[in-house]
């Protein structure tokens, strides 16, 4: 199995951000397990013709929220528009 770890480029670490990400990731994982069990009891998704997107879209959205949070934390100027207004 291939490791997907990124090479460390320095000793910079934001413990608060890491803890927040880990906490939110654990919440999303618990939600995914709960939904997976629920859908499994209903034999969903169907083997043919059913899209997995409708079953996992909120979990994907949760991860996208984390991406936005990281970008705002690490690159605060990136989250602003040309006129200087924050994208919130």
Predicted local distance difference test score (pLDDT) of residue 6? 61
Write the DSSP symbol of residue 3.
-
* Tens-digit pLDDT profile for residues 46-77: 888 888 888 899 999 999 999 999 999 888 77
43: left (phi over 0), alpha (psi -120 to 50) or beta: left
The domain spans of the chain are 20-79
Is the entire prediction scored with pTM above 0.75?
A: no
What is the rounded distance in angstroms from the CA atom of residue 83 to the CA atom of residue 20? 30
For the chain, give the mean pLDDT: 83
Whether the pLDDT of residue 84 is over 70: the answer is no
pLDDT in the model for residue 39: 92
Percent of the chain topping pLDDT 90:
48
């Amino acid at each position: 199995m291939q490791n997907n770890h990124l090479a460390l480029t320095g000793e910079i670490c934001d413990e608060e951000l890491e803890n927040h990400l880990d906490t939110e990731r654990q919440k999303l994982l618990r939600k995914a397990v709960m939904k997976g069990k629920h859908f499994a009891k209903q034999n969903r998704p169907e083997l043919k013709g059913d899209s997995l997107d409708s079953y996992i879209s909120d979990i994907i959205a949760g991860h996208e929220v984390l991406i936005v949070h990281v970008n705002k934390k690490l690159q605060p100027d990136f989250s602003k528009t040309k006129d200087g207004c924050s994208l919130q």
